[in-house]
Amino acid sequence: MATSSFLHPSLGFLVLAALLPFLPGRQWKWLLLVPPIVALVSVFTVAPGVYASLPYLGSQLILGRVDALSLIFAQVFAVMSLIGMIYALHIEDKGQHIAASLYVAGGFGCVFAGDYLSLFIFWELMSIGSTFLIFLNRSRESTLAGFRYFLYHTIGGLFLLGGLLLRHQATGSFAFEHIVFSEAAYYDWLILIGVCVNAAVVPLHAWLPDAYPRATVAGAVFMCAFTTKTAVYVLARGFAGWEVLAVAGAVMAVYGVFYAIAANSARRVLAYDIISQVGYMAVGIGVGTAMTLDGTAAHAYAHILYKSLLFMSIGCLIYSLGTDRLDKLGGLAARLPWVAILFTVGSLSISGMPLFNGFVTKTMTIAGTAEAHHRLLALALEVATAGTFIAVGVRLPYLAFWRRKPEGGVADNAMKPIPWNMYAGMTLAAALCIAQGVYPDMLYRFLPYAVAHPFEPWTAWNVLQALLLLGFSGLAAFLLRGLLAPGSGIILDLDYFYRLIGRGVLALVCRPLAWLDDRWTEAYRTVGLQGLMGLAAGSAWFDKRGIDGVVDGSAVTVRGIGRLGAKMQNGNLQDYLGLATTLAVLVFAMVWYFG
């Protein structure tokens, strides 16, 4: 039943983050489940409306804009926060839970923000929380990746901040509403660039495959769900119908899956595939019809569930074996059968296999794109679907679970037992993936836009098309299996050019400055230091000859007077009277002479 009051889901996570440092013992872990449960109740019972409106600089800051679009994203965020917190229950490090709570709070804040200023505040809260989810892995690689991640998102945040301030200057409003492409000003493009950084739009994507594989096990699970999908929500809210996003999305879909096929780290495979899957959503937003926007929302919902399931499964391998390198894994289906089964559910879901939720969401976006006469974009999405099945549905599970253990692989006695809560989180996500695939109305009833002819996934043509596409993709993977073997090292993709730019900056700026600094140091050593030594010698001479001379002379004089006085004090009364008479005569003479 809908209610007219609204308890903001961010509030519980902010309170949790504030309390955790002061909670003793071990029972505090169960409090991790309270904010997600409160968030679930809140988002599934609240009535649409505007809540928590605050006056600021002549405008209204709206912290609770609740409508169909914000609710569908908030619902899956609430579900994901519960799954993630269950998965992380065994973690003793309070820092990880604090960072995750701040991160999730920022995601909810962005989804319900009704103005750009509120959006920016929660946007930056997400950036801070997610950065610490990388840092807290406590390795040199995670530290470097965390700094790079924060640098990227700081730059994106500055674009967003500059755009919203310039927009306020021009319009007098911070209102976060849809922007018509033909009426967009330069500041709207600045906002778009800032959002595209978080959406990992190519070529602004390099932070994602660099950071996600180096985050903590639980941190990567949260991060795969919130950062890019929050950006998708902002794009859907503000930039629907911008065809430039459709083209960019098609590039992302193909580009991401191409590198996912070649990556050696399991989490890097999944990170590149995030870029591909967000590409589907960007295409739906760019096409801008009711069906493609519904497809974007539905696909974001499904993607959060199956991608988190995949990251949780690989996280189990890292927890148990200490690595996710595909050249070190193999034969794990027998040793970790439940992890293999749950991973398979996620891989079939992301591949769009019938009976799984990816099938009922991908087909909607692709069909809507084709119906809007963007057939080349639809074809690109079909190609990306085939590539996803090869990368995540065939190659990744085969290398990790089904092939024989390679020479030099992880030894059986090196395995750690996996905690029950990790299995519980994965099972919940897997159950939802299957349930939504079998009963798509579980998801479709929450879609934000009304269409003239509701999409029906379970038609003979849709099922046959999906099976044919996946079947031929699997055949291609089998025929090209020699090319799918795991390599060694890291594939840089466009990151090569970022590093090239870095080397150029070193060559053109840093090294010349270092050369100048060396020359200055040498000049100081040879000229300045000698001058300083001369000045010091002069000061020493003056101190000795001048100051010490005055002080020492005064001391000698005082000492002489003291000795004279001591000699005069001999105890003879006649001497004292004679001295007094002499002084009196001298005083009288001086008074008489000068008077």
pLDDT tens readout for residues 395-436? 999 988 988 877 766 666 678 899 999 999 999 999 999 999
Contact 157, 191 (CB under 8 A): no
Express each pLDDT in 512-529 by its tens digit. Answer: 777 777 777 777 667 766
pLDDT tens-digit readout, 331-366: 888 889 999 999 999 999 999 899 999 999 999 999
If pLDDT is split at 50, 70 and 90, which confidence band does 87 have?
very high
Residue 285: beta bridge partners?
Answer: none
Average pLDDT for the chain: 87
Look up residue 410 and give its two tokens.
Answer: 């992880």
φ, ψ of residue 433 to 5 degrees: the values are -60, -45
**Hey, CA dihedral for 201, 204, 208, 209, is it positive or negative?**
positive
Kindly report the CA angle at 464 between 458 and 466, in degrees rounded to 5?
85
Q: In the structure encoding, which two tokens stand for residue 418, read together?
A: 């996996």
Above pLDDT 90, what percent of the chain?
A: 57
Alpha-carbon distances of 278 from 126, 197, 248, rounded to whole Å: 18, 12, 10
Looking up tokens 């193909």 gives 254
- Residue bearing tokens 């057939």: 375
Dihedral in degrees, nearest 10, Cα atoms 44, 47, 49, 53: -70
Residue 546 confidence (pLDDT): 64
Distances (CA, A) of 37 to 201, 471, 507: 33, 41, 54
Instruction: Give yes or no for residue 1 having a pLDDT over 50.
Output: no
Length of the chain: 595
Taking 80 as the threshold, does the pLDDT of residue 491 lie above it? Answer: no
User: What pTM value is reported for the model?
Assistant: 0.84
Which candidate, 114, 121, 233, places its Cα nearest to that of 175? 114
Q: 292 Cβ partners below 8 Å, 6+ apart?
A: 283, 284, 285, 365, 368, 369, 372
Asked, as a colleague might, if the bond just before 486 is cis with ω within 30 of 0, I would say: no
Q: Give the residue from 162, 429, 452 showing the smallest Cα distance to 310.
A: 429
Tokens matching residue 202: 């190519």
| Of 450 and 560, the one with more pLDDT | 450
277 Rama sector, left if φ>0, alpha if ψ -120 to 50, beta otherwise: alpha
pLDDT for 465 equals 87
Considering only residues 22 and 1, tell me which one the structure prediction assigns the higher pLDDT: 22
CB 381 within 8 A of CB 253: yes
Q: pLDDT tens for residues 155-189?
A: 999 999 999 999 989 988 888 999 999 898 999 99
- Mean per-residue pLDDT, 359-386: 92
